[in-house]
Amino acid sequence: MSQNEDNTQNEDYKGYRGKALEKLREFEAKIWSDVEIATPGGNYVGFILPRSETADDLHIVVKLRTGYNIGVACRKVTDIKINGRKVANYKIPEQDFPYDKRKPRVKLFGTGGTIASRLDYRTGAVIPAFSPGELYGSVPELADYCNLETEKLYGVFSENMGPGQWKGIAEAIAKEIEKGVQGVIIGHGTDTMHHTSAILSFMLQNTPVPIVMVGSQRSSDRPSSDAALNLIHSVKTAADSDIAEVLVCMFGPTSDQYGLLHRGTRVRKMHSSYRSTFRTIGDIPIAMVDRNTVTPIRNDYKHRRNDKDFILKPYFEDMVGIVYYYPNMQPDIINSMIDNGYKGIVIAGTGLGHVNKPLYPALKRARDEGIAVYMTVQTLWGYVQMYVYETGREMMGLGVVPAANMLPEVAYVKLGWALGQTSDLDKVKDIMLTPVAGEITEREPSNGYLIYQGGIPEVEEFISKYKK
């Protein structure tokens, strides 16, 4: 069988294998066939659907006339009568995005993620889908704000994003700014959105226009998805706002009310599934955004400009890692990184930035072999302060550099970016400790740390007054 034929066969019986596949082949019942399946327990009438590859090989999936799906054990199937075939065409109606010469030009880059997604029968899960016309077809409100152009850069889940994509995105944005775009949006999976927002803040400095990252926590194939509103908010921000920075634009509350614009270097995904998962850490967000207005809640942001004097530095050293310290950690963790040629290590230490003594020899070895080691805190909130305790001073003696209040993930991408530019550790240190885009702040305002404790009367009273 040629490769081609094999593929066709796979498509015809998508997801099926083993006994279930045998049974379908026996009756030549391809997926999407309109069938009547006979079993001793009764007959089933409906369409044969593809099967998830991760499911077992003993059942055939049938979409009944009522729209429900069930799995029929293939061992029970005595006959399959085929009455027709209708291949499903899961496609959001595409429409040309309308052009209005009075509206600003905004570019939307797609990289994947749940902002636009569709069903994947191979795995049974949702996979990213991205097409400009689809976006307009499903969120026509976008045309009220701008002339939207879209370009698919990548189609990957956010956990699969990496330095290659980061550089690619930075370069693509740079090109658009050169062309005079009014704002840029990057559709991105939410899991590593804050890594990308941080690295873009370093790679693309002094942007004259908003660079807005957006995603969704509920895929757009759900009626209650946050995708549409997040998109609307991001388009509003990119088209109209005065904030020329790399921003993350995601839900403020879980309600469909407003989004928050977080500075790209201070934001973090804080809940595995909540809509309002993104939070600015150790500071407050830059602005609130709804369908009609962008409302800044601080005034130290960079303003929109008409020039194109941005700086593009698309560099990254891959051999950088992050180590999350835990009690009883052994030096072999650090040693193996050294053995494997790592050039930079970010440690997320306990408390003010500590690790245990057994690690010291490994840290010393790292210093001696010219590896940059930086300390951040796994508490996320607060500064590294290595003078308070002796441990800290000892570690600094071993070459560990405190990274102030840089978030661990931010320190990681910044170290990769710094080492991508120079291997001179003094220069690296200069780069690391000189704030580029708010990744290190001079002060933590008292409202920069607000994790309300549920159950306490005053908190409950507050929550009950506002929509969550």
Residues that bind other proteins (CB under 8 A): 41-42, 44, 49, 52, 54-56, 58-59, 61, 63-73, 76, 86, 88-92, 119, 124-126, 138, 217-225, 228-229, 254-257, 271, 273-275, 454, 460, 463-464, 466-468
DSSP 374-386: EEEETT-SS----
Give the shortest CB-407-to-other proteins separation in angstroms.
23
355 close to 385: Cβ distance less than 8 angstroms: no
Find, among 181, 211, 183, the residue nearest to 198 by Cα. Answer: 211
The secondary structure element, H or E, covering residue 133 is helix 132-138
Looking at beta carbons only, is 222 or 393 nearer to other proteins? 222
For residues 70 and 388, which CB has a smaller minimum distance to other proteins in the complex?
Answer: 70
Nearest alpha-carbon partner for 143 in 129, 131, 132, 130? 132
What is the nearest approach in angstroms of other proteins to the Cβ of residue 293? Answer: 17
Cα 271 from Cα 166, distance rounded (Å): 24
Residue 22, C-beta contacts closer than 8 angstroms, at least 6 positions apart: 74
Closest approach of other proteins to the CB of residue 237, in Å: 19
Q: What are the DSSP calls for 407-424, one per residue? A: -HHHHHHHHHHHHHH---
- Whether 126 and 221 have beta carbons less than 8 Å apart is answered as yes
Q: How many CA atoms lie within 13 A of 325 on its CB side?
A: 26
For other proteins, the closer CB: 124 or 435: 124
Q: DSSP assignment of 162-189, as one string?
A: -HHHHHHHHHHHHHHHHTT-SEEEEE--
Please state the closest distance from residue 255 (CB atom) to other proteins, in A: 4
Catalytic residues: 114, 190-191, 269
Task: Provide, rounded to whole angstroms, the least separation between the CB of residue 455 and other proteins.
Answer: 8
* Shortest Å, Cβ 38 to other proteins: 12
In 3D, which of 232, 217, 222 has the Cα closest to residue 185?
232
Give me the helices (H) in 271-357, please: 332-339
Which 3 state secondary structure label does DSSP give 27? coil
Q: CA triplet 439, 420, 400: central angle to 5 degrees?
A: 60
Nearer to other proteins, 48 or 384 (CB): 48
Nearest distance from residue 127's CB to other proteins, in Å? 10
Q: CA 275 to CA 273: how far, in whole Å?
A: 7
- Between 35 and 346, CB nearer to other proteins: 35
Q: Please, which residue, 114 or 265, has the CB nearer to other proteins? A: 114
Q: What is the DSSP letter of 32?
A: T
Task: In whole angstroms, give the CA distance from residue 219 to residue 227.
Answer: 7
Give yes or no for a contact between 408 and 322, defined as CB atoms under 8 angstroms apart. yes
The distance of Cα 10 from the centroid of its chain, to the nearest Å, equals 31
Name the residue nearer to other proteins (CB basis): 39 or 422.
39
Sole residue written with tokens 């993930």? 409
Q: In the bound complex, what is the minimum distance in angstroms from residue 289's beta carbon to other proteins?
A: 16
Judged by beta carbon, residue 138 or residue 201, the one nearer other proteins is 138
